[in-house]
Structure 1
Amino acid sequence: MGVGSRQRVKDDDGLLGSSAGLAHFRSVENKIQNAVDQTAHFTGFGKFHCKLFVISGLIFMNTGFGVSSTGIIVPSAPCDFQMRTVDIGRLTASPMLGMVCGSYFWGCLADMKGRKVALLAALFLDGFAGVFSSLVPNLLAFTCLRFLNGFAITGQCAMLFPYLGEFQPSNVREKILCWMEMAWTIGITVLPLLGWLVIPMSFRYTLGNFSFASWNLFVLLCAVPSISIAIALLYFPESPKYLIDDGQESRAIEVLSIMYAENTGNPPEDYPVKCIANSDDPANAMIVNGGDFVASEKLKRKKKKLVKMVKDIYEHTLTILRPPYLTTTLLTSIIQFSITSSYYTLMVWFPELFQRFAEFEKEHPSQSATVCDVSEIKPINVSLVDSVADFSCNEKVQSSVYIHTIFLGLACIPTSIWLPLCIGQLGYRFFLVFSTAFSGAAAIGLFFVTSSTQNLILSCVFEALTSMGVSVVYCILVDFYPTHLRVIAASFSALCGRSGAFLGNFMFGYFLDVHCVVPIAVVAGLLFCGGLLSMCLPRRNVDPGKEERKSASN
């Protein structure tokens, strides 16, 4: 291919900025994709994929623990940390800020060291930050460690879907990824059960300024799964698609051989593919069964250095922010912002709202009240910047708080089953529009509830639909972008979504007690906006590189 001064193409280690260069890079990417898809055909689909699905489900369940655990802690921790509502807002926002800061870090690490390495680092960091946060004696240290938890959680969320998806045959990839929603549902259902068992315990160990109560034990127990899952993940391989893309052909063959052996029961050496190369034509195809074809061009790239990796991240980000990816990137990012900010904001604050409803109905059994009425149950009749002495403390969390939070998780089960079963027939756009429109209506309905039961019903509808919407966005990112842009696209989308979650939690803490209408109205408006934009998404399985190749050929 000839190149001029305006269509300069770097070597395979570089990035391609021109139209012809992008087309060439996409061509190489397509060869890698074709090679992986063809070799995956020989591995079959069986035991290995089941084991991978289980460990991936545990990771996603663990992210549900991490995101929702702060909401379970909030009704119990104010007495120890002397928190006002605004302090609660800062605490709930700190993991979200960690997610914002971690979005690009994990993408860089995954491209430089691999999907598995990034997942391991995120899991171990999450676990150890959780252990230390159960032991610290003051709010500032606890908030900083929750920031690290959020930093690690975003690594698990962003890397899990590419890692799991890159092992799957293309014909089942979408359904497998959608079934991850069930793992999240199990996580947010089991967590309040654990909280109900542990937090009501009446023990407290005190030594000087150090205090360890039942809610500290709950935080400690939430950290155990991260470390345990990380140890189990050590026995799983790196994504073969990443290994091929990174030029580690021999390691990719080893991984594929292991998959073949576990799925078929045959010895690994019987795996028929011995070499992976350019598979666009018979002259450059895979070497099968010892040499039916001869490979003339290997798809290899040098190991990436840190400085170059940062440059690659920058260049890849520019790539997804210009045609032909620009429209898709903007749409998915805004939709992610809308759904994630709404979901993570109310998800974290629902237990606090349940607690306020329970306290109100206990003190006023014959009266009805709206969400905004019960928000005044914690007296904030002083300036938000007043001394920490002006806080409300209730040692006992009502048991109905845990029961209602469990119902939130159970409400997600029907949508978790519906999504993977019907995504192929109805399409992702249907699910996005459906989830955002009806969850937005549920958010508006919160203004009209007059009892804790009505509040619970609308909260369950909101939780189930927005949870489904978040999962759909993660799935379509795998489908819309090629391998070399997939992690960056997921990281950029996560950055937008977590930024919304951070702002939403911060906003809730400031406005809930004084202008309750504002945060709920903003949540509903964002969801309706996300639904409208969902209708503009391109059809699935579109090839963004088609236009580039057409332009290059002209």
Structure 2
Amino acid sequence: MNVSIDFIDSRTTSENSAKVTVSRTVSEYEPATFEEAITATKFGKYNILLAFLAMLSSFCTVFDTSTMSYTFVAAQCDLELSLSDKGLLNAVTYAGMITSAIIWGFLFDVLGRKKLLIFGFLVDAIFVFTSAFSQSLPLLLASKYLQGFIINGPFAAVSSYISEFHCAMYRPVYQMIIGTSNSFGTVLLPLLAWVILPQNMDFTIVKLNFHSWNVFLLVSGLPAFLSAIMYLLFPESPKFLMTSGQNDKALKVFQKIFSVNTGQPPECYPIKHLVDETQNTSTNETSTKRNTLQALKEGFQQIKPICLPPQLVRILLACTIFLFVTMSLNILRLWLPQIFQIMTDYQEAHEEEPAGLCTMLMESIDGKNSSSSEECEVNVSNDSTYINSTIVGCTAICGNLLAASLIRHIGKKKILTVALIIAGSCGVFLYFSENPELAVFCSSMFIAGGSVSNNVMVSVAVDMFPTTLRTMAISLGLMIGRSGAMFGNFIFPYLLQTGCEAPFFFIGGSMLAAAILSLALPNTDMKPLT
């Protein structure tokens, strides 16, 4: 029995369209590579279920890093928050992510994806629920830090896990699905905030005072809890199983995917043998029956290549781009609800007086500095804040959907560079916004371009590094990027106090610098996983 495995070029549009294929006939007794094995499983229901799981998992990181943007607007009186306190609340989650990045990358690459994904999302949910019971700033800061410490690993592993269930033709698309889900999370979060935060909630349970923002934080922990449960129903990554010498288990996973996708019995899966990838590694130290201690020892050996050429140059380039993109994107993204609230407050106080964004920001900052002794009040008539945030999120979704539809035809590198240029230009133009409508437009385009750039960069990083270094490389890149996000959110209040030019030129210029660096990235389109 011979099986013809076709790798379909991105120019294929339908079954009746002309196809450009590269075929290899695989004998029933001839071992198949991962790309051949995963291609033979076809595309169907199993892949759709994985897309749903990826969407739910993506919400967790968005919620963990973004809930404070809406919470401190409602909780600023209950917790007596200053402008610098708000910057600290935005930054502390990234501090947790930074301190755990290397640990998680190492554990996922050595011990596998599934068990640690379940553990990571479950513990994250516990810390989110803990934050909902916070009665003071220190406890809230501690729980947000621990959320960042835990969620960093599962977030990085989701990209690797989902990619390792798809062939080269679908991997970029699924990375864009994850990115689109992140953007959808930025729409869902303000909608939840709009429903919950304006409510006049004030009740006590076991001597704990609860307000609307406590309930909002409690609801935001549900995606992490549901993700942990769903990962129980899925198998370990077949690519990881092959890499670790567990071909029998990997073959059963391929058979299961094939059966779900085609409706045929698992025995009908055409491939019977897989290539022994452990013989292709440089160290050849992996054992099919390794224990945890052996796995940890092997992991330290696997870290070494990332510090040597040619991987060293690649990781430095990837980390620098991650730094600029993640920093700029998350500074503006996390401060937009506060900026929109300032715009709302200004418009209510000056009904017939149009003004630019910088005028609104500077008057708000100067007013708070000069009237700090006045009684604290929260403006609950802030529908426009949530509407503007929803518009920004919807624009990001449209940007990611557009990128997902074009990425196979245009290529990752071109999409990345164009998106960075758009984001950088709009970041600079925010300074020149003369009315709220233009400010919302520039903000939307900046977030959309930055979101697309961040997601495409993860997809590029997945293909730039081999399996044993992949999650480590992504975790390291995200750690560097989040270091910038932490630093940026911490200094953003101080930049605002110095004037309007510095913050917007800073975020726009960083994106444009990343666009220049993206030209040096290798072309990884349609590259098989190694």
For the criterion TM > 0.5, the same-fold answer is: yes
SS in 1 for 2:210: strand
Give distance in 2, aligned partners of 1:513 and 1:365.
25
SS in 2 for 1:62: helix
Deviation by residue 1:5-52 (Cα, 9 ceiling, x = unmatched): xxxxxxxxxxxxxxxxxxxxxxxxxxxx96222322332221111111
Give distance in 1, aligned partners of 2:446 and 2:527.
34
Deviation by residue 1:151-208 (Cα, 9 ceiling, x = unmatched): 2332232111100000101222222222222212211111111110111111201469
Which range is displaced more, 392-401 or 525-534? 392-401
Supply the AA of the counterpart residue of 1:115: R
- Whether the 8 Å CA contact 2:45–2:260 is kept in 1: the answer is yes
Alpha carbons of 1:498 and 1:361: their partners in 2 closer, same or farther (altered >3 Å)?
A: same
369, 377, 389: which is aligned to 1:381? 369
- Is 1:496–2:494 an aligned residue pair? no
Alpha carbons of 1:431 and 1:240: their partners in 2 closer, same or farther (altered >3 Å)?
A: same
Indicate the residue corresponding to 2:105 in structure 1.
107
Deviation by residue 1:481-515 (Cα, 9 ceiling, x = unmatched): 11111111111111111111101110113332344
Give distance in 1, aligned partners of 2:174 and 2:473.
20
- Is 1:63–2:61 an aligned residue pair? yes
- Whether the 8 Å CA contact 1:123–1:229 is kept in 2: the answer is yes
- Whether the 8 Å CA contact 1:446–1:458 is kept in 2: the answer is yes
Deviation of 1:315 after TM superposition, in Å, equals 4.6
Alpha carbons of 1:408 and 1:492: their partners in 2 closer, same or farther (altered >3 Å)?
A: same
- Whether the 8 Å CA contact 1:480–1:542 is kept in 2: the answer is no
Indicate the residue corresponding to 2:358 in structure 1.
372
Question: CA-atom RMSD, angstroms?
Answer: 2.9
Where in structure 1 are there 5+ consecutive unaligned residues? 1-32, 286-296, 547-554
Indicate the residue corresponding to 2:314 in structure 1.
328
Indicate the residue corresponding to 1:10 in structure 2.
none
- Whether the 8 Å CA contact 2:325–2:514 is kept in 1: the answer is yes
- Whether the 8 Å CA contact 1:411–1:461 is kept in 2: the answer is yes
Which range is displaced more, 370-379 or 84-93? 370-379
Supply the AA of the counterpart residue of 2:390: I
Deviation of 1:447 after TM superposition, in Å, equals 1.2
- Whether the 8 Å CA contact 1:130–1:220 is kept in 2: the answer is yes
452, 457, 465: which is aligned to 1:468? 452
Give distance in 2, aligned partners of 1:307 and 1:492.
23
- Is 1:454–2:435 an aligned residue pair? no
Alpha carbons of 1:392 and 1:517: their partners in 2 closer, same or farther (altered >3 Å)?
A: farther
Indicate the residue corresponding to 2:123 in structure 1.
125
Supply the AA of the counterpart residue of 2:514: G
- Is 1:340–2:340 an aligned residue pair? no
- Whether the 8 Å CA contact 1:36–1:241 is kept in 2: the answer is yes
SS in 2 for 1:368: coil
Supply the AA of the counterpart residue of 1:97: A
Deviation of 1:396 after TM superposition, in Å, equals 2.3
Which range is displaced more, 334-343 or 416-425? 416-425
SS in 2 for 1:495: helix
Supply the AA of the counterpart residue of 1:354: F
Indicate the residue corresponding to 2:15 in structure 1.
none
Indicate the residue corresponding to 2:399 in structure 1.
415
Indicate the residue corresponding to 1:214 in structure 2.
212
- Whether the 8 Å CA contact 1:89–1:510 is kept in 2: the answer is no
Deviation by residue 1:224-249 (Cα, 9 ceiling, x = unmatched): 12101211121011101111212222
Indicate the residue corresponding to 2:46 in structure 1.
48
- Is 1:427–2:438 an aligned residue pair? no
SS in 1 for 2:448: helix
Deviation by residue 1:368-408 (Cα, 9 ceiling, x = unmatched): 3333332231445389xxxx979954252511101100001
SS in 2 for 1:211: strand
Give distance in 2, aligned partners of 1:60 and 1:480.
22
Deviation of 1:518 after TM superposition, in Å, equals 2.2
Give distance in 2, aligned partners of 1:191 and 1:397.
18
Give distance in 2, aligned partners of 1:61 and 1:208.
31
- What does 1:284-323 correspond to in 2, within 5 Å? 300-303=287-290, 305=292, 309=296, 315-323=301-309
Indicate the residue corresponding to 1:171 in structure 2.
169
Alpha carbons of 1:306 and 1:82: their partners in 2 closer, same or farther (altered >3 Å)?
A: farther
- Whether the 8 Å CA contact 2:64–2:144 is kept in 1: the answer is no
Supply the AA of the counterpart residue of 1:538: P
Alpha carbons of 1:369 and 1:53: their partners in 2 closer, same or farther (altered >3 Å)?
A: same
495, 520, 528: which is aligned to 1:536? 520
Give distance in 2, aligned partners of 1:279 and 1:99.
32
Give distance in 2, aligned partners of 1:540 and 1:44.
23
- Whether the 8 Å CA contact 1:244–1:299 is kept in 2: the answer is no
Deviation by residue 1:68-107 (Cα, 9 ceiling, x = unmatched): 2221212111111100000101111011111212212221
Indicate the residue corresponding to 1:518 in structure 2.
502
Indicate the residue corresponding to 1:481 in structure 2.
465
Supply the AA of the counterpart residue of 1:205: F
Give distance in 2, aligned partners of 1:389 and 1:315.
59
Supply the AA of the counterpart residue of 1:525: G
Deviation of 1:545 after TM superposition, in Å, equals 12
Which range is displaced more, 201-210 or 65-74? 201-210
Indicate the residue corresponding to 1:404 in structure 2.
388
Supply the AA of the counterpart residue of 2:326: T
- Whether the 8 Å CA contact 2:72–2:81 is kept in 1: the answer is no
Where in structure 2 are there 5+ consecutive unaligned residues? 1-30
SS in 2 for 1:367: coil
Alpha carbons of 1:146 and 1:299: their partners in 2 closer, same or farther (altered >3 Å)?
A: closer
Alpha carbons of 1:305 and 1:200: their partners in 2 closer, same or farther (altered >3 Å)?
A: same
422, 438, 451: which is aligned to 1:438? 422
Deviation of 1:456 after TM superposition, in Å, equals 0.8
SS in 2 for 1:76: helix
- Whether the 8 Å CA contact 2:101–2:152 is kept in 1: the answer is yes
Deviation by residue 1:208-230 (Cα, 9 ceiling, x = unmatched): 96320111111100101210121
Give distance in 2, aligned partners of 1:272 and 1:230.
33
Alpha carbons of 1:389 and 1:506: their partners in 2 closer, same or farther (altered >3 Å)?
A: farther
Give distance in 2, aligned partners of 1:130 and 1:138.
15
- Whether the 8 Å CA contact 2:245–2:276 is kept in 1: the answer is no
- Whether the 8 Å CA contact 1:35–1:277 is kept in 2: the answer is yes
Alpha carbons of 1:545 and 1:38: their partners in 2 closer, same or farther (altered >3 Å)?
A: closer
TM-score normalized by structure 1? 0.83
Task: Give the number of aligned pairs.
Answer: 495
276, 289, 307: which is aligned to 1:278? 276
- Is 1:509–2:489 an aligned residue pair? no
Alpha carbons of 1:279 and 1:495: their partners in 2 closer, same or farther (altered >3 Å)?
A: closer
Give distance in 1, aligned partners of 2:528 and 2:56.
33
Give distance in 2, aligned partners of 1:520 and 1:43.
48
Supply the AA of the counterpart residue of 2:290: K
- Is 1:36–2:34 an aligned residue pair? yes
Which range is displaced more, 337-346 or 357-366? 357-366
Supply the AA of the counterpart residue of 2:422: F
Give distance in 2, aligned partners of 1:308 and 1:257.
27
- Whether the 8 Å CA contact 2:94–2:483 is kept in 1: the answer is yes
Indicate the residue corresponding to 2:182 in structure 1.
184
Indicate the residue corresponding to 1:9 in structure 2.
none
TM-score normalized by structure 2? 0.87
Deviation by residue 1:326-379 (Cα, 9 ceiling, x = unmatched): 222111111110011011111000000000011011111233333333223144
Alpha carbons of 1:391 and 1:495: their partners in 2 closer, same or farther (altered >3 Å)?
A: farther
Give distance in 2, aligned partners of 1:391 and 1:435.
44
